[in-house]
Amino acid sequence: MAVKVGDTVRFLNTTGGGRVTRIADGLAYVDDDGFETPVLIHDCVVVGDAPVFGNPSAPAKSKEAASPKSAPAAPAPKVRISEPTQLPVVETAGGDVLNIVVGFEPLDIKSLSQSDFDAYVVNDSNYYLFVSIATRSRDSREWQHRYDGVIEPNIQEYAFTLGQADLPSFDRLSVQYTAFKRDRDYEAKAPGDVDIRVDATKFAKLHCFRPNPYFDGPVIAFDISVDDRVQTDTMPAIDARALEQGMKEKRRDLSSQQHAAPRQSKPSHRDDSPIVVDLHASELLDTTAGLSPADILNMQIDRFSEVMNAHLRAPGTKIVFIHGKGEGVLRQALMKELNHRYKGHDVQDASFREYGFGATQVTIRPVLPTDTPAPVQPKKRKQRR
């Protein structure tokens, strides 16, 4: 039964209920003991119809039967139904950054091979979002429209249902959004356009559905924006064998560089010129295809350790590690190594004029024999299977 304004409903997935005061954007606003609660329409069960003023289907009565001659019938009182009031948007602390998630929730998690999946968009921000969602298969260049609409701040919105028949052609997910506020000034946000590669086989695997802070049950979730940072997915599919072979070749190259490094770095550097080591991935690797950010970070730390180990017995040597500004992840990892594995050496920001932002200079200091650290072996990386 369709839910309409004035119906008395009870909640399907939780306790409570009340009278529907208004319906907007797929939500029924229910007066629950004086509080207006937004609930998804398909989570409401009608237990009482809205009152109807007059009965058009009732047979007409004659004037004599309608009222005695001595007392004319009083006109029916006019009832004015007030328009639903728009509730003000309550902004949350820290909500001026965009956090957007698209989650797929199974309708029957005990039978994934037959279940459909409801897609929800989570808008965890103080902004309204105009969102457009489309999907396509790997072999097609044309997108299939799935959803578009305006999502209110700090809310989870039902978008569409993905059926079993849709899964074979569900290889890409496109989410485009624009953020804005109504009736107030706000900081402009850049529009987002995210194209996500999807492995549809995961929808048949129970362990792929995981808990998520925005959902009551396990879901397959995709981060669209995290703290204003648009999440991109441009990495090609990973070939495990090619990845393993590439890492073996890179280890051999790094090993040969390690053996050659001490002979090249023996000079005392009387001209006080530092050794410059660029830790950017483009300098260390021929290609980053198939490597995750964690794999790249591990290789950068390995290169840093190799250079440090090669010069520990050359006091006064200055080494400039160029790590880039970025988000500071690599710099934090280097500082952790310097504070724990390579204590006692001088650390400072390198010359801004020569290297710009994103470079750290280490000056090797003599270490007492009793404090000489054992050679640090590069951290082992787990191979992907």
| pLDDT score for 242 | 60
Q: What are the pLDDT digits (tens) for 11-50?
A: 777 777 888 888 887 788 888 777 788 888 777 878 776 6
Which residues form the domain of 4? 1-50
- Name the residue with tokens 């009083």: 74
| pLDDT score for 294 | 84
| pTM over cut 0.95 | no
Residues 6+ apart with CB under 8 A from 200: 167, 168, 170, 171
The average pLDDT across 242-259 equals 65
- Name the residue with tokens 């069960």: 45
Q: Domain with 8 in it: what CATH number?
A: 2.30.30.520
Boundary of a domain, candidates 210, 230, 250? 230
Q: What is the pLDDT confidence band of residue 120, given thresholds at 50, 70 and 90?
A: very high
Q: Which of 115, 79, 72, 330 is nearest to 203 (CA)?
A: 115
Question: Is the distance from CB of 308 to CB of 325 less than 8 angstroms?
Answer: no
Q: What are the pLDDT digits (tens) for 330-363?
A: 888 888 888 888 888 888 888 877 777 788 899 9
| pLDDT score for 268 | 44
349 and 270 together in one domain: yes
Question: Is the distance from CB of 48 to CB of 10 less than 8 angstroms?
Answer: no
260 and 223 together in one domain: no
In a domain, 65, yes or no: no
Q: Is residue 85 pLDDT above 60, yes or no?
A: no
Which residues are bridge partners to 230 per DSSP? Answer: 225
Q: What are the pLDDT digits (tens) for 173-196?
A: 999 999 999 888 999 999 999 999
356 and 272 together in one domain: yes
| pLDDT score for 132 | 96
Q: What are the pLDDT digits (tens) for 255-304?
A: 666 555 444 444 444 457 889 998 888 888 877 777 888 888 888 899 99
Please provide the size of the chain in residues: 385
247 and 358 together in one domain: yes
218 and 272 together in one domain: no
Of all residues in the chain, what percent carry a pLDDT higher than 90? Answer: 28
Max mean pLDDT among 1-5, 166-170, 233-237, 263-267 falls in 166-170
Q: What is the pLDDT confidence band of residue 103, given thresholds at 50, 70 and 90?
A: very high
224 and 266 together in one domain: no
272 and 352 together in one domain: yes
Q: Domain with 330 in it: what CATH number?
A: 3.30.1370.110
Cα within 13 Å of Cα(97), Cβ side? 9
| pLDDT score for 327 | 62
Question: Is the distance from CB of 337 to CB of 304 less than 8 angstroms?
Answer: yes
Q: What is the pLDDT confidence band of residue 373, given thresholds at 50, 70 and 90?
A: low
Q: Which residue has the higher pLDDT, 66 or 98?
A: 98
Cα angle for residues 63, 66, 68 (degrees, 5° grid) = 90
The average pLDDT across 237-263 equals 60
The Cα-based distances of 358 to 302, 354, 364 in angstroms read: 19, 11, 20
The domain tally of the chain equals 3
221 and 244 together in one domain: no
Q: Domain with 154 in it: what CATH number?
A: 2.60.40.1600
In a domain, 78, yes or no: no
Q: Is residue 104 pLDDT above 80, yes or no?
A: yes
248 and 226 together in one domain: no
Q: Considering Cα of 351, then 354, then 357, then 363, what sign does the dihedral take? A: negative
Q: What is the mean pLDDT of the chain?
A: 78
Q: Which residue has the higher pLDDT, 94 or 304?
A: 304
Mean pLDDT is lowest, of 52-66, 76-90, 108-122, 167-181, for 52-66
**Other C-beta atoms lying within 10 Å of the C-beta of residue 6:** 14
In a domain, 376, yes or no: no
| pLDDT score for 53 | 47
| pLDDT score for 237 | 45
**Other C-beta atoms lying within 10 Å of the C-beta of residue 188:** 8
Q: Which residue has the higher pLDDT, 203 or 49?
A: 203
Q: What is the pLDDT confidence band of residue 240, given thresholds at 50, 70 and 90?
A: low
195 and 261 together in one domain: no
